[in-house]
Structure 1
Amino acid sequence: MAFVVTTGATGKLGGRVAARLAAAGVEQRLVSRDAGRAPRLPGASAVSADYGDPEAVRRALDGAGTVLFVSAAESADRLDRHRAFVDAARAAGVSHLVYVSFFGAAPDATFTLARDHWATEQHIRAGGVPFTFLRDNLYADFLPGMAGEDGVIRGPAGRGRVAAVAQDDIADAAVAVLLDPAAHAGATYDLTGPQALTLEEVATVLTAATGRRHVYHEETLDEAYASRQVHGAPGWQVEAWVSTYLAIAAGELDGVSDAVPALTGHPATSLAELFGG
């Protein structure tokens, strides 16, 4: 059996997957921009390749069977880099791509970066390589980071709900697919937590779980843009930040899926369980 390639192994999600595959005795190649930062794992080798360098990616994927394709870091040219990676994977003869996409990916998604995920999915489909798409909801692990130093979560999310999913659950689901890719060929899985919560409810759960007071403050659209301008981020990134909340308000991150328990054999982790132990 050809080895598995795990991209993003220096990150939180890819690192989790790589560790699980190593524990299962799977031979894998860890691909990242800096191989020196890759985790030292049994049965794993590490190579450097940037998604935007098709020749380096092709060499890194040469001989691989299944590839976990973790989306690139957010950037203005991320879609171009994704397309370059997919083309290089096809040229390398990869037999299956498992792409980490986003919940509700669509050409008209409110969350601007979900549109890039949809376009990446379409490029994978057009390339002819067998695939599986893992459409993750917002990472539950990152929800505390939406609060400011004062514990206030600010944004124009209204009373919309988000079915945030724990990264450990995503990693377990990804490993289940990577260990038996043929059984999941052509499938798209919406990975969510067990509940869809408003940001007010998220704040309540975080307060109880962490002991630090969290509250939700609903911003107007003008307030949302103004409060984020202080970070000096480029326009596309500010738009992405604000549109995350607008997607919640529009109901596009609502809805609980059974994909996590179906793939992993265990219940999805609730927000209270994730931070309360």
Structure 2
Amino acid sequence: MVSYTRSTKKLLRSLMDEQQASLDYLSNQVHELMNRVLLLTTDVLRKQLDPFPQRPVQSHGLDCSDIKDTIGSVTKTPSGLYIIHPEGASYPFEVMCDMDYRGGGWTVIQKRTDGVIDFQRLWCDYLDGFGDLLGEHWLGLKKIFYIVNQKNTSFMLSVALESEDDTLAYALYDSFWLEDEARFFRMHLGRYSGNAGDAFRGLRKEDNQNAMPFSTSDADNDGCQPACLVHGQAVKSCSHVNNHTGWWFSQCGLANLNGIHHFPRKLQGTGIQWGTWTKMNSPVKIKSVSMKIRRV
């Protein structure tokens, strides 16, 4: 009887061991499949799909400045949507051209007006762009890179600001270009002019956002390692402090034109920031803003 019991226990233990081994194998298979699904999902999200896959598309020019110089030499070029194909880009894409602002020829790379479009986005969205080109939008880091890094050209950047009381201000930089994706589209600015102040460079050395890489909540490149001090508080991620929006942060700096949009007379989020534009020693509340680039 004792021998039979021992034999039965041994058999049961052997069966349990085999079942556990099978469960471990299946668990590892499921884990591997989940990892593959995650990688495929990430790849799909990051992949830049050709916006015109059905047939070749004739572009209007290399960028809005090129369009103005060619079409505008014959007839008045209206503001609106145009298809461009910058040198170095593997595909054409649509942009909003402002042909009226300061002489025209401006490619709009960012616009905020009413807070309808959500700018709380991950790296893949800021990489490829989002929003409505006729309204609020972010053109996309890759597209901006293609435009400003064409051969034998240089671009200027204009930041146009409007306050809640309809006051206008601007910041102009006589050169603007980005490094490539491997360097997280590090931004480089030239000399400043305007009446809004140079918020990109800030008031202190640690505020300087020039030559900083782009950051999002899932791609942290803001220099806060392990943390930086902002208004007396330790901050590990400038994107997190700025409601998970993406920008060229530097500990965290005075400018963030992609911040949560303020609605008039409501305290909501951190708002669109341009910290050098002040009134009565307080930052001006910004209602709308646009970023435009044009050939020098």
TM, length-normalised to structure 2: 0.25
Structure holding more strand per residue = 2
Structure holding more helix per residue = 1
- The structure with the larger Rg is 2
